[in-house]
Amino acid sequence: MEQHLSAADSAASPQHDANEWVSPGVSVRKRWLTGIGVASASAVFFFIAHAEGATMLVSTLIGIIFIGGFIGYLRVVAPTPFTIRLSDDEGISRSERNGEPQVIAWANVAKIKEEDFPNGKPVSIAVFKRVGERGLHRAWVVYGDDIPRFAEFIAALHSGLPESTPWLRETVHE
């Protein structure tokens, strides 16, 4: 179910002084819990190898490969910290940690797609930009869990867009 919204339909919320939202990436709590989980799995792995009669050298090598592979996997799938800035002059910019900011001028924003749960809570915002004369490209998606003050971000984004930019709202998980 999609709805087209105008800027007046946006729920107004108090504007924050800085139009900047920072995603912390993986929280410290999740890092600790993952570390405890990996350590526990490693202990069980070493116990099984020892109980089966494998030498500690073999079980240590296998454990190092297991732990290293798992940590490498986590580094690939873990969300990278990023910063989103809304500027009246420049438009929307998103920069990954230690990366160049990706700037989309307000005039180049082709559409915004907001996904909400049936209870009205926003899930995500997808920003689409114009590419070439008729092309359309999804620039990036921000999920509600990614940044604090997500509702504030949505309101600020909605107020900064030109009136002619379509804002689509879709209900998900019906």
Range of the domain at 41: 28-77
Statement: residue 76 has pLDDT above 60: yes
Alpha carbon distance 72, 69 (integer Å): 5
Same domain, yes or no, for 34 and 15?
no
pLDDT of 57: 75
Interhelix angle 56-77/28-51, rounded to 10 degrees, is 150
Q: Which residue has the higher pLDDT, 31 or 8?
A: 31
Residue 171 φ then ψ, to 5°: -90, 130
Reported as a pLDDT band with limits 50, 70 and 90, residue 174 is: low
* Structural domains in the chain (count): 2
Q: Are residues 69 and 138 in the same domain?
A: no
The mean pLDDT of the chain is 80
Q: Are residues 110 and 61 in the same domain?
A: no
pLDDT in tens, 23-52: 888 777 888 888 888 888 878 877 877 787
The CA distance from 139 to 93, in Å, is 11
Instruction: Mark whether 117 and 68 lie in a shared domain.
Output: no
Is 6 strand, coil or helix?
coil
List the CATH number of the domain containing 165.
Answer: 2.30.29
pLDDT tens digit string along 96-146?
A: 888 888 888 888 888 999 999 998 889 999 999 888 777 778 888 888 888
Q: Which of 47, 62, 77 is the last residue of a domain?
A: 77
For residues 43 and 25, give the distance between their C-alpha atoms in angstroms, rounded to a whole number.
Answer: 28
- pTM for the model stands at 0.65
In this prediction, residue 6 carries a pLDDT of 42
- Reading the block at residue 72, the tokens are 């490498």
The arithmetic mean of pLDDT across residues 169-173, rounded, is 87
The pLDDT of residue 113: 93
